[in-house]
Amino acid sequence: MQAVHNTHSKVMGYLLWILGFLGAHRFYYGKPLTGTLWFFTLGLLGIGWLIDLFLIPAMDREADLRFNAGATDYSVAWILLTFLGAFGVHRFYLGKWLTGLLYLCTGGLFLLGVLYDFWTLNTQVSLANAQRT
């Protein structure tokens, strides 16, 4: 049986759920397709958002199984992306200095890079953690 490491936080998931009608918690748990759907439909008109209140523990368990644990913290990376993504701070945190500087000078590569990172940040952190072990 595979050892389960706590990569994602339920507390962080519930905090992002408060903004969940925009899909923040779904992106955090590695569900970019439904995160995008929630973003454009306001959480399926609020219905999906309310249902997610009860689904967060399962999404947390699934993310813990899917992604590599390690020194790079998923919650820190997500906070940096969410609030400082246009400045590339999350990229500096991941050790990606060149793209961090590029984001800093271009507003997150004109915000398209930030959108890309919302889709791929969990994988980026997981790869960083796998390379450090």
Give the per-residue pLDDT at 5: 85
Give the per-residue pLDDT at 3: 60
Asked if the structure places residue 22 within a domain, the reply is yes
State the Cα torsion 56-57-63-68 to the nearest 10°.
140
Asked if the structure places residue 3 within a domain, the reply is no
Residue pLDDT tens, the chain, 133 long: 456 689 999 999 999 999 777 899 999 999 999 999 999 999 999 999 999 999 999 999 999 999 999 999 999 999 999 999 999 999 999 999 999 999 999 999 999 999 999 999 999 999 999 998 6
* Rounded Cα distance, 49 and 18, in Å: 9
- Do 92 and 62 share a domain, yes or no? no
Asked if the structure places residue 4 within a domain, the reply is no
Give the per-residue pLDDT at 29: 98
- Do 14 and 35 share a domain, yes or no? yes
Asked if the structure places residue 1 within a domain, the reply is no
- Do 58 and 80 share a domain, yes or no? no
CB 103 within 8 A of CB 87: yes
Instruction: Kindly state the tokens that stand for 40.
Output: 């454009």
Domain count, the chain: 2
Provide the domain limits for residue 37.
10-66
Give the per-residue pLDDT at 19: 77
- Do 81 and 126 share a domain, yes or no? yes
